[in-house]
Amino acid sequence: YWRWFSAALTGDFGTSLSMRAPVGPFVLASLGRSAALAGIILLFLVPLGVGAGIVAGLNQGRLVDRLIVLAGVSFGIVPDFVSGLLLLLVFGLWLNWLPITGAAPEGAGLWTSGCYLILPALPLVLNLAGYLARMTRAGVIEALAADYTRTATLKGLNRWQVILRHVLPNALTPTIAVLATQSGYMLGGLVVIEALFGIQGLGNLVLNAAKARDFPMLEAGVLVMATIFVLSAAMGDLVQALLDPRQRRRASP
């Protein structure tokens, strides 16, 4: 294993036992497909989850706040493979609005490839948007009650200036940490969704390698997944430090 790991650090992941070919191109191709799916998920997830959380936090205790929390909890408790099957039946088979597979034809353009990934992305968007909205809501409520918000209001700033300059930069700090963690999961942990919609992504690659006992392919996939999780968590910490000066002061000697 040490010999394999030492070679993997230079980009040589060995030879696949099932494909009889170098592992590296398979991993890179699968990572690209997973990255495309993660991009579509984030494209819908960030505006929906963060936007709903901000609206709920600014209207704490009102009807819209309760509806957002209720909807988020309701969608969040449904497993992604269950919602994926339901969405596949409704929008793919009954209404025929979206393709039932996530694999676009060879030579498809960017727009067509994106359309093929909308249906696989929706179960994850519904599952994660509620959790993201609750995190954002809690951050907004805490920031609204903070001393710096009251001070900004007493200085004469209007409501939207207070929200944009003082509330949101502080309220979104925990949300960014959640997004960083979920981004790592989207790039390698969507085994069920990729298998359900026929996407040859990184998660599906690891699953098939485990079934075939293709150890070089399995080791390479797991190593790339671990690297992605570490890098995404580090990126989240960096963005948090940029938004919150207190963390930079806490980290300095």
Residue 146 has pLDDT above 80, yes or no: yes
pLDDT, mean of residues 101-108: 78
* Residue range 144-160: mean pLDDT, rounded: 82
Give the three-state DSSP class for 232. Answer: helix
Mean pLDDT of the chain: 84
Domains of the chain: 22-251 (1.10.3720.10)
What integer pLDDT is reported at residue 15 of this predicted model? Answer: 87
pLDDT band at 169 (very low <50, low <70, confident <90, very high): confident
pLDDT at res. 245: 63
Are the C-beta atoms of residues 66 and 134 closer than 8 Å to each other? no
For residue 4, pLDDT over 80 is answered with yes
| Alpha carbons 127 and 77: distance in angstroms, whole number | 7
Q: Which residues contact 189 (CB under 8 A, 6 or more apart)?
A: 203, 225
Closest listed residue to residue 208, CA positions, set 199, 54, 76, 149? 199
- What is the model's pLDDT at position 67? 92
Instruction: Please say whether the dihedral angle defined by the alpha carbons of residues 244, 130, 164 and 183, taken in this order, is positive or negative.
Output: positive
The answer to whether 60 touches 50, Cβ cutoff 8 Å, is no
- What would the pLDDT profile of 134-144 be if each residue is shown by its tens digit? 888 988 888 88
Is the per-residue pLDDT at 252 higher than 60?
A: no
Closest CA to 208 of 41, 1, 17: 17
Query: With 0-12 CB in 10 A as exposed, 13-18 as middle and 19+ as buried, what is 249?
Result: exposed
State the pLDDT at residue 182: 79
Residues 128-132 have a mean pLDDT of: 88
Alpha-carbon torsion (112, 176, 140, 170), positive or negative: negative
Q: What sign for the dihedral angle of Cα 74, 133, 95, 120? A: negative
Tell me the pLDDT band of 244, cut-offs 50, 70 and 90. Answer: low
15: tokens are 């030879």
Cα atoms in the Cβ-side hemisphere of radius 13 Å centred on 93 = 7
Instruction: Dump pLDDT digits (tens) for 13-42.
Output: 888 888 888 988 999 988 888 888 888 998
Contact (Cβ atoms closer than 8 angstroms) between residue 113 and residue 123 = no
At how many degrees (to 10) do helices 63-76 and 110-144 cross?
Answer: 130
Residue type, 25: P
- Name the 3-class secondary structure at 17: coil
Write the pLDDT tens digit of every residue in 46-85: 899 999 999 998 888 899 999 998 988 888 888 888 888 8
Q: Is the pLDDT of residue 249 over 70?
A: no
What is the structure's pLDDT at 207?
A: 87
Phi, psi at 22, each rounded to 5°: -55, 145
Higher pLDDT, 170 or 48: 48
Residue 128: pLDDT over 80: yes
pLDDT tens for residues 185-235?
A: 777 667 888 888 888 888 888 888 998 898 889 989 888 888 888 888 888
Are 120 and 38 a contacting pair, CB within 8 Å?
no
pLDDT at 111 over 80: yes
Helices (H) and strands (E) in the chain, counts: 14, 0
Q: Confidence band (pLDDT; 50, 70, 90) for 115?
A: confident
